[in-house]
Every structure is written in C-alpha cells, then in structure tokens.
Amino acid sequence: MKRIGITGQNGFVGRHLYNTLGLYPEEFQRVAFSKNCFDSEDKLDSFVEQCDVIVHLAAMNRHENEQVIYDTNVKLVSDLVASLERTKSKAHVLISSSTQEERDNLYGKSKREGREMIANWAKKNGGKVTGLVIPNVFGAFGKPFYNSFIATFCYQLTHGEKPVIANDGEVKLIYVQELVETIIAQIRNESSKDSMNVEATVTKKVSDVLSLLESYKQAYFDKGEIPALATTFEVHLFNTFRSYIDYEKHFPVKFTQHTDPRGAFVEVIRLGLGGQVSFSTTVPGITRGNHFHTRKIERFAVIKGKALIQLRKIDSEEILNFELDGLNPSYVDMPIWYTHNIKNTGDEELYTIFWINELYNPEDADTYFVEV
C-alpha cells in the first residue's frame, strides 16, 4: 500500500484527488496534510517522513501583486525540498506546473522554477519526480474568480449575475476528474519524468463555453429540464454547472399539476438525453440509498407519501434535509460527490420515481456506499 500525501489537500484539485484516492482503500493510504505544515520544519518533516508519494499542489494562483505569487510559490517548493533533504526522503514527488510556463509572467516562471527545483532534488538524492505541466482545469467546486473562468461563469449564472467575457480566445481544458485519473496513473507506474505535458481533452472558445452554460441555466436552472448533452465534455460541464447551485434555496422543486375531475397529470422530467427511469415503493421507516456518484446525473421525484431526502458532501459534515410530500409532488436532483438517501417518514407506502442519465452497469456502477 502506497502512502500518499497531497500538499494543497483542501484546494480545488487536491480535494478531488484526496477524495478519489479514498475510493481505493486497499491500494492507497492517505497521509493527512494541513496548511500549517508549512509553518514549521517539524510539522513539514513529520508529513514528509510518512509519505511514499507526495503530490505537490499547494500554490498561489492569483494576487493583485504578481511578485507575491512568485515569491509564495517558490518558497513553498523550497521549503518542501529542504524537508525532503532533512528527512533523506526517497519519495516519488509529483509537482503540478502550468502551461503558463511558456508565458512571460511571474506565475508561469514560479511554476517552471518550482518544477526544476524538484527535478534537481531528485537527481541529487535518488528520489523520483514527475513534473506535470497542466492546462486549464475546470470541474465541480472550483473557486469562482480564482480557479477558472468556468467556475466564475457558473457561479454568476446561478446567483443572478451576468458573466462578461474579458478575452474571447481559445482555451485548452481538462476536467478535474480526468486530471486526477492522470495523476493516479503516474503514481501507479512510478516513472520519473522531469516534465510531462498533460494533454487537454478539449479546446473551446470562451464564448462557446458561456453559450453552453447559459443554455443550462435556461433549460435546467429555470425550467428543470435536463439539456441535451452531446459529448463527454458537455456532461462534465453540466455537472460543473450544477455544483454551483444553492441546493437549500433551489430544491425541492414542485411539479406543475394539471388537474380535472379524473385526477391529476404531472410531467416528471423533460430530457435532452436518454437514461433510465425506475420507481420504488418503500414501507414506513425504511431508508434507501446512502451512496454517492462521481459522474451520474440523478433525479428523485416523490409522487405519493412523505419522504426525507438527505444530502451530504462526502468531505463535509453538513447535512442538507429536504422534506417532500406526494400531495404536492416535487423532486430533488442529486449532485455529484454528495452521498444521499431517501427515507419514508409517513404512515403509508412511499412511491418514488428515479431517473438517471446512464444505464446501470454493474462493472462500472459509479456508486460508492457512504452513510449520510
């Protein structure tokens, strides 16, 4: 079992990597890292000594003063190298750099110099290094106005603000989970490369990305419709968009009921893509679920009985509670990386309709069981 530590564990990419490594408990042991490890040599040395693999992601991306970015990033790598030398570590160090290495700015310079510092340490001390030169990364839970323009646009569209394009150029992009899979592959193969270009999985104009996101707002956020998602990139972008919705304010969403003397008619879902629809009956007091997905899009619609739907982001203790009643049919959509369940809280049988965007495949179920 490899012991893996991630500097910047609570950052955008670090959190995704940390959570994904947790899906392989028999292969990887995660070594906890906190930001204050860089505050003292003893704390940093204790962290380094425990690690067979260190993924160095800690860095400053934005600041009004570029010199502060440069100084901060170089110092973080310098401190890590000093600790590796003090502890005589032979760890495999993977360090994130950026395609901005090629640009004439202090951020790119800091990333290039940091990668070279780790490479020099490895050559002198018998360690291993993988220098990852990474394009623009997007995905769920990125920090708006900091991590990417996509994070900013998603936040603005879901919070009543209007995005503005500063520069409508073509951008090379990689989804955060695709990057995480690349990092894990490099951890597994143990090869040493001073510089490795991580290939972008798509290239898009900023205006084309915004156009897609605006269509998701109009169809999904405003009307509850699942939009057509023609490519893997569009699925990733839609899941990214959904992660910026304030779930406590947005859900549950009540269906429109069309009633007449015969009863009522309710449209459960409009789809721009396929998937699988199912229903369940649940006796009083029983809870279903307690699992999460990393890519699937899912809707729970209560049409009869009373239910409590609970959601919890897997690295958080905050639980979101939604009470639904079949007398006023409504639905809640499940965000990725949130473990969720549904409990019959009434005195009669609970009827629930489920829709998910892909057919169930037991060999690739994307279903991980964790109690809410």
Q: Identify whether residues 18 and 100 lie together within a single domain.
A: yes
Claim to verify: residue 311 and residue 365 sit in the same structural domain: yes
In a domain, 101, yes or no: yes
Measured distance CA(139)–CA(273) in Å, rounded: 21
CATH number at residue 274: 2.60.120.10
Residues 177 and 254 in one domain: no
What local confidence, expressed as pLDDT, does residue 355 receive? 96
Averaged pLDDT for residues 18-25: 97
pLDDT-based confidence at 102, cuts 50/70/90? confident
Is the domain of 135 the same as that of 262? Answer: no
User: Same domain for 44 and 191?
Assistant: yes
> Do 59 and 41 meet the contact criterion of CB atoms below 8 Å apart?
no
Residues 282 and 193 in one domain: no
- For residue 81, CA distances in Å to 11, 67, 76, 343 come to 21, 21, 9, 51
* Two tokens, residue 9: 């564990």
Residue 69 CA to residue 108 CA, distance in Å, equals 10
Helices (DSSP H) in 126-172: which residue ranges? Answer: 149-158
Looking at the structure, tell me whether residues 10 and 124 fall in a common domain.
yes
Q: What is the pLDDT of residue 34?
A: 92
Kindly state the helix (H) or strand (E) to which residue 17 belongs, with its residue range.
helix 12-21
Q: Residues of the chain with pLDDT > 90: what percent? A: 92
- In Å, what is the CA distance from 49 to each residue of 87, 116, 125, 250? 6, 22, 15, 46
Whether residue 244 has pLDDT greater than 90? yes
Residue 90 covered by a domain: yes
Domain extent, residue 266, equals 247-369
State both tokens at 263: 């009863």
For the beta sheet containing 53-56, the strands, ordered from the edge strand earlier in sequence to the opposite edge, are 28-31, 2-7, 53-56, 92-98, 128-134, 193-197
Tokens of 296: 């699937």
Cα distances (Å, whole numbers) of residue 36 to 40, 43, 44, 61: 8, 8, 8, 19
**Residue the block writes with tokens 């893509």:** 273
Structure confidence at residue 263 (pLDDT):
86
In whole angstroms, give the CA distance from residue 237 to residue 252: 23
Reported confidence tier of residue 265, pLDDT bands at 50, 70, 90:
confident
CA 290, CA 212: separation in Å to the nearest integer?
Answer: 32
Of the pLDDT bands very low, low, confident and very high (cuts 50, 70, 90), residue 264 is confident
The answer for residues whose C-beta is within 8 angstroms of residue 250's C-beta and 6 or more apart is 221
Residues 184 and 300 in one domain: no
Nearest to 122 by CA among 168, 71, 81: 81
- Whether residues 37 and 114 fall in one domain: yes
Q: Higher-confidence residue: 234 or 261?
A: 234
Structure tokens at 27: 């292969």
- Using CA atoms, how far apart are residues 358 and 312, in angstroms rounded to an integer? 22
What is the three-class DSSP state of 6? strand
Q: At 42, list the tokens.
A: 């003893």
Mean pLDDT of 312-320: 97
Question: Which pLDDT belongs to residue 103?
Answer: 82
DSSP, res 102: G
147 within domain boundaries: no
Question: Who wins on pLDDT, 273 or 81?
Answer: 81
Among 202, 221, 256, where does a domain finish?
Answer: 202
Q: How far apart are alpha carbons 68 and 144 in whole angstroms? A: 20
Query: Is 90 exceeded by the pLDDT of residue 101?
Result: no
DSSP class per residue in 51-67: -SEEEE-------SSHH
8 and 105 together in one domain: yes
Cβ–Cβ under 8 Å, residues 307 and 345: yes
- The number of distinct structural domains making up the chain is 2
Radius of gyration for the alpha carbons in the chain, expressed in angstroms and rounded: 23
Interval 224-237: pLDDT, tens: 999 999 999 999 99
Q: What is the mean pLDDT of residues 12-32?
A: 97
pLDDT at 310 over 90: yes
**pLDDT, the chain, mean:** 96
Residues 302, 365: one domain?
yes
273 domain residue, yes or no: yes
What was the pLDDT predicted at 151? 98
CATH number, residue 97: 3.40.50.720
Residue 235 lies in a domain: no
The owner of tokens 């204050």 is 36
**Sheet containing 276-282: which strands, arranged edge to edge?**
253-254, 330-334, 298-304, 350-356, 276-282
- Asked if the structure places residue 95 within a domain, the reply is yes
- Which residues does residue 333 pair with via DSSP β-bridges, in sequence order? 299
Each residue's pLDDT tens digit, 114-154: 999 999 999 999 999 999 999 999 999 999 999 999 999 99
Residue found under tokens 């079949």: 326
* Residue whose C-alpha is closest to residue 130's, from 106, 97, 84: 97
Same domain for 191 and 260? no
